[in-house]
Structure 1
Amino acid sequence: MVDTLGLLLGVMVTSADTGDRTAAQVMLKQVTDAHHRLALVWADGGYTGSLVEHCLAALALVLAIVKRSDDMRGFVVLPKRWIVERFFAHLMRTRRLARDYERRTASAEVMVYWSMILLMSRRLARPRPARA
């Protein structure tokens, strides 16, 4: 889960037999506990159904589903989806995350946090242009 700047808010790596909607309930609870001002979450069409009502009732969180229109052809990145796609591109620059080397889900989560720390520290260390 990333914010609108593409910075990591939370990550949850699960086994293949765990559904996205089930894991999303747990992750959204963890993220809303850590980020109290969170009010709106954008998600793709895979998160439709009872998760939308659960977010509103249990977490006081609006889950807006960004759907692909029927007239779209080919590969088109949906609005706001490019933020997540850019985040995935940053993760793939970390060699260890380019393949599934991890045996445990916890170590895979740590690798995502490590990759994000590298990205954020590079952004902070970048020289700023001098003000006129």
Structure 2
Amino acid sequence: MQGRGGQPEAYCHRAMLDAVRYLVDNGTKWRAMPSDFPPWDRVYSFFRRWRDQDLVTEFHDRLRGRSVKRRAGIRSRARA
């Protein structure tokens, strides 16, 4: 992602992605996110930024591609 300068990000992108996946999987509301994840408002702002830059679609497509390859028995050498 292109930086805008300023302070470094306070949370790992993996933690943010895991939080979004948790919300989607469990159908919970943003404000009901467990305390194991970063604060809901920070996760939501990351999600909005990813959505606005079409990264959510890219994440989905990459994960779907891996799933399809795995079912077909094709192993990927490089991780996306």
TM-score, normalised on structure 2?
0.37
Q: Which has the higher strand share?
A: 1
Q: Which has the larger radius of gyration?
A: 1
Structure with bigger RCO (C-alpha 8 Å, 6+ apart): 1
Q: Which has the higher helix share?
A: 2
